[in-house]
Structure 1
Amino acid sequence: MNRRPGARPAERGSVTVETALVLPVVVLFVLILLATALAGSQQLAVTEGARAAARSLAIGESLAEARATAARVCTCDTQIAAEGGTWVRVTVTSTSPTVSWIPGFNVAATITVPAEAGTP
């Protein structure tokens, strides 16, 4: 019989069974880690898009220009609202396929900045 030295007959095949039980957990952990990294990356991009659009509106550019600025910075859908003329509030939500496959997960950022003096 071909056995490893010191192995008991009851232990034969235990490495295969242990691997079969642990491998799905390791794969699931790696997938969760990857999804978290993608979501974090997309959150940073959306925040930068909101910041760029808010700055654009604060210096007096139009809503269309602010949307174009946000779209250049990130793959996102912008919802822009100017509040009261003294404050600009920009909300950017992600439409990127990198995180849209995660159920119930939405990436969004809201930035509020004061409008600069002398802007319309």
Structure 2
Amino acid sequence: MSPESAWPPELPEVVLDWPVPRGVKIRPARWVGGDAANYRAHFQAAVDVGMALAVICNDAPRGSGARVARWFCPGVPMHVTGEQVVGKDGRVQHVFLVPAQAALLALERGLITCLAE
């Protein structure tokens, strides 16, 4: 994948059925808890085994009326699965699906900021 690849990337067919997230995201996504190499390895592993979608967790609160799709980073949506897990810090994490190949490209384009805890 090269940085010259078209943006937004072509998304897998399964994503085309997702509702379009509200608004337009222009700021890079912010991830806490690891560096870019950790996230790149996570998404590359999903791509390597042929998965179009990868699982991520987000601790943003979700009310009962929250939409099922939100922006992962500019040009790439993510979809809530309805599952929740409890993180190491005891906080509830909501489980989302994100297009794995698009996430890799977003990392290369600087559309994801990774912050160590």
Q: TM-score range by the shorter chain?
A: under 0.3
Of structures 1 and 2, the one with the larger relative CO (CA 8 A, separation 6+) is: 2
Q: Specify the structure having the higher radius of gyration (Cα).
A: 1
Return the TM-score normalized by structure 2. 0.27
Between Structure 1 and Structure 2, the one with more helix by share is 1
Return the TM-score normalized by structure 1. 0.27
Between Structure 1 and Structure 2, the one with more strand by share is 2
